[in-house]
Amino acid sequence: MADQIEPKSADNVAAPVAPVAADPPKAPPAAPAKKVTASATTPSGPDKTRRTIIWSLVWGYFGVNFLMFLRFFFPRTLFEPKTIFSIGYPQDFGLGVETKYQREFRIWVDKVPGRIFVIYARCTHLGCTPDWKPAENKFKCPCHGSGYDSEAINFEGPAPRPMDRCHVELDATGQIVVDTNRLYVRDPKAGRDEFDSPGSYLPA
Ligand code: FES
């Protein structure tokens, strides 16, 4: 006889099994972080040399520009002496050659009986500044040996004519005003003699 199948009790009935959710796909394991080492950031070898050269050029460029900028504050100006100036009163000078204005104004003051005049201290050969030689009572040019007497009249060497004289006049106070831009010339070859012209001397 066939076994009767006993109805299963509630205890025996297995609870329905919930479907198991599938695990989400696992991400592949992350690659281990690379260590940032000093060797990765610091160039070496040719890279380092290249960087050094480039920075040198950049700094050189800025350096040159900075120097050029500074150069604007130091213009290449030639500071010429004044060309119009006072030298005092005629009675301040004794007879003979006064050299104290040579360095500052490139002139000598020359007083002779009856007149005072100012010589422009420039050799008429090639423009050197002669020296006054009191012991020899003459001007001597150190460049090529030209000699001038005490009134700056040439008498030896290659100088072709006497040294020029500056314009002189008295100001309102009676002081001598010299203008080295206005020169009086004696040049026998050119038939020119301005040494007695008004302004080339003052009575003294
Ligand atoms: S420049 Fe004076 S002698 Fe030549």
Q: Report the CATH number that the domain containing residue 153 is assigned in CATH.
A: 2.102.10.10
- Within-domain flag for 63: no
pLDDT at 42: 63
* pLDDT exceeds 50 at position 5: no
CA of 143 to the centre of ligand 1 (A): 5
- Within-domain flag for 165: yes
Q: What percent of the chain has pLDDT over 70?
A: 77
Q: How many domains does the chain have?
A: 1
Query: What number is the average pLDDT over the span 93-120?
Result: 97
Partner residues linked to 180 by β-bridges: none
Question: Which ligand 1 atom minimizes the distance to the CA of 123?
Answer: 2
- Within-domain flag for 52: no
- Within-domain flag for 75: no
- Within-domain flag for 38: no
- Within-domain flag for 192: yes
* Whole-prediction pTM: 0.65
pLDDT at 168: 98
- Within-domain flag for 16: no
Closest C-alpha residue for ligand 1 atom 1: 126
Question: In terms of DSSP H, where are the helices of 15-132?
Answer: 38-41, 46-71, 102-105
pLDDT at 87: 97
Looking at per-residue confidence, does 187 or 77 come out higher?
187
Q: Output the CA angle 64-66-72, nearest 5 degrees.
A: 105
- Within-domain flag for 135: yes
Partner residues linked to 168 by β-bridges: 178
What digits encode the pLDDT tens for the residues 134-159?
Answer: 999 999 999 999 999 999 999 999 99
* pLDDT exceeds 90 at position 198: yes
Q: What percent of the chain has pLDDT over 90?
A: 62
Write out the residue range of the structural domain in which residue 173 sits: 84-203
Cβ–ligand 1 contact at 147 (below 6 Å): no
Give the DSSP letter of residue 153.
-
What is the residue-averaged pLDDT of the chain? 85
Closest CA to 135 of 150, 157, 153, 116: 150
Question: Which ligand 1 atom minimizes the distance to the CA of 126?
Answer: 1
pLDDT at 12: 46
% helix / strand / coil in the chain, to the nearest 5?
A: 20, 25, 55
CA of 191 to the centre of ligand 1 (A): 22
Partner residues linked to 178 by β-bridges: 85, 168
The band of 121, judged by pLDDT with boundaries at 50, 70 and 90, is very high
Cβ–ligand 1 contact at 141 (below 6 Å): yes
First to last CA, the chain: 178
pLDDT at 146: 98
pLDDT at 31: 54
Looking at per-residue confidence, does 24 or 64 come out higher?
64
